[in-house]
Amino acid sequence: MFISAIGCRASATTTVTGAPSVLIDIVTITSFTPTLPKLGSFLFQAPTMLISGVNYYQYLNDYFYPDGDQGCGSCGYGGGGYETSDWNGNYSYYTNGTTKQINFESEDYPSYSTILCQLPGQAEASDCSQWTVVFQGYLHATQNGNYTIAPVLSEDNAIFFWGGEKAYSSYKNNNTDGSVTYTQPSTLPHSYSYSMAGEFMPITFIYANGYRPALNSLTITSQNGTSYPTDLDFFVPPCPNSPFVP
């Protein structure tokens, strides 16, 4: 279930009387309009301005995607030894922050001489040849229709993504919506379309690199052709104490 109204709350779960129990997360906002009337037992507040972006958590891994005659194409989920369970609930990240731009590449890509990356908020560029980055937030649908997420097929090394309630904390190998990886699972599409209407859809992306220059690149295209990253306002970050689990 997607969230069609975003309100602030003090606890992790808010139940709307007379409706199915759902997790209502909060988004970072800079100001409020006056409080709206009560809907059941939940008091909605309408934000007048949203901060754009997603939260990120950057880790180091020991993956080894095929490179020449080295690495392993059949190890783990999609090659390299990747497993989603390595990151779901992993709070041992090296750096974290918020960013509008989730696409990035190492310096002088595809050169092996300087495999350095720097995300917003990081003090300096660092070796990203063994990076995993988890991105989490909301995809904000301002139009009715399909929103299509499409990573480039030259992803280096891998990207996986999940939309909807599972993106909070139940994302795993066998419920991935889409990916691009070295050994693509036969039933998993590279791109995926979500039908949305004025909603904030929870979304989790996991990028993984192993022993190579880094490239993460995807597009999101709305019904009328507006696209990310040309428009960087597609995402809204969660607030602290949200149901998201990195």
Instruction: Take residue 33 and report the two structure tokens written for it.
Output: 């309009």
Which residues, other chains included, contact 177 with Cβ-Cβ below 8 Å and sequence gap of 6+?
A: 149, 161, 162, 163, 189, 192
Prediction pTM value: 0.83
Which residues, other chains included, contact 10 with Cβ-Cβ below 8 Å and sequence gap of 6+?
A: none
Peptide bond into 246 cis (omega under 30): no
Do the beta carbons of residue 223 and residue 170 sit within 8 Å?
Answer: no
Do the beta carbons of residue 206 and residue 159 sit within 8 Å?
Answer: yes
Q: HEC string of 83-130? A: CHHHCCCCCCCCEEEEECCCCEECCCCCCCCCCEECCCCCCCCEECCC
Cα→Cα distances 241→15, 75, 238, Å: 16, 35, 8
CATH of domain 54-236: 2.60.120.1560
User: For the chain, what are the domain ranges?
Assistant: 54-236
pLDDT in tens, the chain (246 residues): 455 444 433 333 332 333 333 333 433 333 333 333 333 333 323 333 468 999 999 999 999 999 999 999 999 999 999 999 999 999 999 999 999 999 999 999 999 999 999 999 999 999 999 999 999 999 999 989 999 999 999 999 999 999 999 999 999 999 999 999 999 999 999 999 999 988 899 999 999 999 999 999 999 999 999 999 999 999 999 988 899 999
